[in-house]
C-alpha cells in the first residue's frame, strides 16, 4: 500500500500546486502510531486531502473510510489502491481494529457519517446530534467502539501469557470479535486524535468549468452537481485549515473503568461495558473537534446578525457590532481565530470585499436558514455559535433551534 500512497500523495500535491489550493495544517504534534483520527466532514476531496497533508507534514500513511457512493469507476479503483475502504464494507471494523492493534497504519474516520452542506450540530440529552435531511440523530459512535474494542483486546493479550486458560479465552474472544489474535502488541499506545476542518470564506457561485462539463453530462439540476460546484469553489477559492487537536488516551475510558479483569472474558459484560463507554468517549472527541473550529468573519457576521435587537438592521451598527465582537474575541483565551481577525480589524468593516454582505443584511430574518443563505456558512459554529462558546467554556447544554 505504501508505494500506492506515495504516488497518490504526489498526484494530490501536483493538483494542489496546479489549482493553487490554500491548505494549511496546524495544531499539536502527533503521538506515535497507531492513531485513530476523527474529523468533521464537509467535502468529498477531504478523503484525499487530509491523508495527503498528514503524509506531507508527518510522513504518516493513513487509511480512511469513505462513502460507498465514491467507489465507482476510476475513482473507486484509486480509493481501493491507496487502502481506503467503503463505509458499507462488512469487515471494516475488523480491518481497522487489526491495523490499530498491530500498528500497521493510522486511520481517519468521520463520525458525522456523511457530507451534507446544510447539516446542523447540537448538543441534546448529553450527546452531540446531527440534523440534516438524510439523518436526524446522535453522532455515530463507531469510532469510539472500535477504539475501546482495540484496547480491550490489548488488555486480554497482556493477560494471556499468565495462564493457559486465559490464553484460550483470549483466542475465543478474538475469534468472536472477528479479530486475529496473533500479532497483537499490548505495548502499543492507541490514541484518538481529533481533527478539525474549517473553510473560509464559503461563498456560492457558478463554476465555468463545471458548467462546460455539464453541457455533456446534463446533471446541473441534481443535488450532486450543486454539491460538486460548492466543493470545487471551496478548493479553488477558500482557505482550508486542518487542525490537529490534543490526543486522547484510551486508559481513562477503558483501564480506569475496569474494576475486575475477569470481566474481559465475559462477552455479555464486555458488550455492556462498551455500551456504557462509547457515548462519553464520542462526546469527548467530538467536543474537541468542534471547539477547535477556526473562528472567522462569517461566524462573527452571523453572531452579530442574530443578536441584533431589531428586525430592521442598520448596516453601520452591524459593522460596529462585528468590530466589537472581534476585539472581544482577541482578548479571550482558548479560541482559534482566523489570521484575518488577528490583523487590522478595521478592514472587516471598511474593506469593499465585505460590502455585499452588509448590503444584503438590511432585513434580519428570524429563520436561521435565511442567515445561512446570506453568508454561505454552515455547521456548529455558524448556527449556534454563542451556545457553542457557552458549551466549550462552561459545559452547559447547546439547545436545539
pLDDT digits (tens, 9 = 90+) for 114-158: 766 667 888 888 899 988 877 888 999 999 999 999 999 888 887
Q: Has residue 150 been placed in a domain? A: yes
Q: How far is residue 149's CA from residue 146's CA, in Å, rounded to a whole number? A: 5
Instruction: Over range 198-212, report the average pLDDT.
Output: 70
Instruction: Over range 48-77, report the average pLDDT.
Output: 84
Q: Has residue 396 been placed in a domain? A: no
**Strand, helix or coil for residue 339:** helix
Q: How far is residue 172's CA from residue 151's CA, in Å, rounded to a whole number? A: 17
Given 230, 262, 291, the domain boundary residue is 291
Tell whether 243 and 321 lie within a shared domain: no
- Domain range for 134 is 2-203+238-291
Radius of gyration of the chain (CA): 23
Tell whether 18 and 31 lie within a shared domain: yes
Q: What pLDDT was estimated at residue 379?
A: 38
> Tens digits of per-residue pLDDT, 17-52?
666 678 899 999 999 889 999 999 888 788 888 988
Asked whether residue 71 carries a pLDDT value surpassing 60, the answer given is: yes
Tell whether 286 and 310 lie within a shared domain: no
pLDDT band at 180 (very low <50, low <70, confident <90, very high): low
Q: Has residue 399 been placed in a domain? A: no
Which of 68-77, 83-92, 295-304, 370-379 shows the lowest mean pLDDT across its residues?
370-379
Tell whether 299 and 287 lie within a shared domain: no
Give the residue from 86, 132, 92 showing the smallest Cα distance to 112: 132
Instruction: Over range 250-277, report the average pLDDT.
Output: 89
pLDDT band at 169 (very low <50, low <70, confident <90, very high): low
Asked whether residue 257 carries a pLDDT value surpassing 70, the answer given is: yes
Tell whether 338 and 246 lie within a shared domain: no
Q: What pLDDT was estimated at residue 315?
A: 79
Q: Has residue 282 been placed in a domain? A: yes
Give the residue from 185, 83, 99 showing the smallest Cα distance to 147: 99
Tell whether 40 and 128 lie within a shared domain: yes
Tell whether 306 and 266 lie within a shared domain: no
Q: Has residue 211 been placed in a domain? A: no
* Average pLDDT over all residues of the chain: 76
- Cell (9 digits) for 348: 472587516
pLDDT band at 393 (very low <50, low <70, confident <90, very high): very low
- Cell (9 digits) for 388: 457553542
> Tens digits of per-residue pLDDT, 299-347?
888 888 877 777 777 778 888 888 888 888 888 888 899 888 877 676 7
Tell whether 276 and 350 lie within a shared domain: no
Q: What pLDDT was estimated at residue 135?
A: 82
Q: Has residue 386 been placed in a domain? A: no
Q: Which of the pair, 318 or 280, is modelled with greater confidence?
A: 280
Q: What pLDDT was estimated at residue 43?
A: 82
Q: What total number of domains does the chain contain?
A: 2
Tell whether 60 and 160 lie within a shared domain: yes
Q: What pLDDT was estimated at residue 209?
A: 59
Instruction: Over range 101-107, report the average pLDDT.
Output: 90
pLDDT band at 223 (very low <50, low <70, confident <90, very high): low
Q: What pLDDT was estimated at residue 47?
A: 85
Give the residue from 122, 64, 65 showing the smallest Cα distance to 88: 65
pLDDT band at 214 (very low <50, low <70, confident <90, very high): low
Tell whether 58 and 29 lie within a shared domain: yes
Given 291, 324, 354, the domain boundary residue is 291
pLDDT band at 65 (very low <50, low <70, confident <90, very high): confident
Q: How far is residue 303's CA from residue 325's CA, in Å, rounded to a whole number? A: 9
Asked whether residue 284 carries a pLDDT value surpassing 80, the answer given is: yes
Asked whether residue 179 carries a pLDDT value surpassing 90, the answer given is: no
Asked whether residue 361 carries a pLDDT value surpassing 80, the answer given is: no
Q: Which residue has the cell 491523508?
A: 51
Q: What angle do CA 322, 323, 329 make, to 5 degrees?
A: 90
Strands 106-109 and 120-124: unpaired
Tell whether 270 and 341 lie within a shared domain: no
Q: What pLDDT was estimated at residue 366?
A: 38
pLDDT band at 388 (very low <50, low <70, confident <90, very high): very low
Q: What pLDDT was estimated at residue 21?
A: 75
Backbone angles phi, psi at 55, to 5 degrees: -70, -40
Q: What pLDDT was estimated at residue 390?
A: 39
Q: Which of the pair, 280 or 43, is modelled with greater confidence?
A: 280
Tell whether 150 and 167 lie within a shared domain: yes
Q: Has residue 38 been placed in a domain? A: yes
Instruction: Over range 271-286, report the average pLDDT.
Output: 95
Q: Has residue 400 been placed in a domain? A: no
pTM of the model: 0.80
Q: What pLDDT was estimated at residue 77?
A: 80
Q: Evaluate whether 141 touches 279 at the Cβ level (below 8 Å).
A: yes
Amino acid at each position: 500500500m505504501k508505494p500506492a500512497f506515495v504516488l497518490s500523495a504526489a498526484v494530490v500535491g501536483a493538483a494542489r500546486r496546479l489549482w493553487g489550493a490554500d491548505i494549511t495544517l496546524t495544531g499539536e504534534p502527533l503521538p506515535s502510531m497507531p492513531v485513530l483520527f476523527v474529523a468533521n466532514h464537509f467535502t468529498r476531496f477531504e478523503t484525499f486531502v487530509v491523508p495527503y497533508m498528514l503524509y506531507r507534514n508527518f510522513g504518516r500513511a493513513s487509511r480512511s473510510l469513505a462513502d460507498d457512493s465514491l467507489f465507482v469507476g476510476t475513482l473507486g479503483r484509486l480509493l481501493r489502491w491507496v487502502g481506503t475502504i467503503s463505509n458499507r464494507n462488512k469487515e471494516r471494523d475488523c480491518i481497522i481494529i487489526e491495523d490499530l492493534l498491530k500498528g500497521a497504519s493510522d486511520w481517519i474516520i468521520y463520525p458525522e457519517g456523511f457530507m451534507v452542506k446544510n447539516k446542523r450540530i447540537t448538543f441534546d440529552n448529553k450527546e452531540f446530534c446531527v440534523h440534516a435531511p438524510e439523518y436526524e440523530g446522535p453522532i455515530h459512535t463507531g469510532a469510539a467502539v472500535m477504539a475501546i474494542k482495540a484496547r480491550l483486546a490489548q488488555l486480554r493479550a497482556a493477560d494471556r501469557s499468565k495462564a493457559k486458560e486465559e490464553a484460550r479465552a483470549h483466542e475465543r474472544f478474538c475469534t468472536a470479535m472477528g479479530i486475529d489474535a496473533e500479532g497483537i502488541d499490548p505495548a502499543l499506545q492507541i490514541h484518538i486524535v481529533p481533527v478539525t476542518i474549517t473553510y473560509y470564506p464559503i461563498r456560492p457561485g457558478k463554476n465555468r468549468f463545471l458548467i462546460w462539463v455539464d453541457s455533456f453530462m446534463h446533471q446541473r439540476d441534481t443535488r450532486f452537481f450543486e454539491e460538486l460546484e460548492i466543493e470545487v469553489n471551496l478548493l479553488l477559492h477558500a482557505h482550508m485549515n486542518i487542525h490537529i487537536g490534543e490526543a486522547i488516551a484510551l486508559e481513562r475510558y477503558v483501564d480506569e473503568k475496569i474494576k475486575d479483569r475477569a470481566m474481559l472474558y465475559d462477552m455479555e459484560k464486555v458488550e455492556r461495558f462498551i455500551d456504557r463507554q462509547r457515548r462519553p468517549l464520542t462526546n469527548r472527541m467530538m467536543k474537541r473537534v468542534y471547539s477547535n473550529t477556526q473562528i472567522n468573519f462569517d461566524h462573527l457576521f452571523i453572531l452579530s446578525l442574530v443578536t441584533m435587537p431589531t428586525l430592521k438592521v442598520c448596516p453601520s451598527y452591524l459593522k460596529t457590532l462585528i468590530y466589537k465582537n472581534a476585539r472581544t474575541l482577541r482578548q479571550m483565551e482558548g479560541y482559534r481565530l482566523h489570521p484575518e481577525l488577528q490583523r487590522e480589524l478595521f478592514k472587516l468593516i471598511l474593506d469593499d470585499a465585505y460590502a455585499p454582505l452588509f448590503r444584503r443584511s438590511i432585513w434580519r430574518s428570524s429563520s436561521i436558514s435565511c442567515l445561512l443563505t446570506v453568508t454561505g456558512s454552515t455547521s456548529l459554529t455558524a448556527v449556534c455559535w454563542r451556545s457553542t462558546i457557552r458549551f466549550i467554556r462552561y459545559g452547559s447544554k447547546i439547545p436545539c433551534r
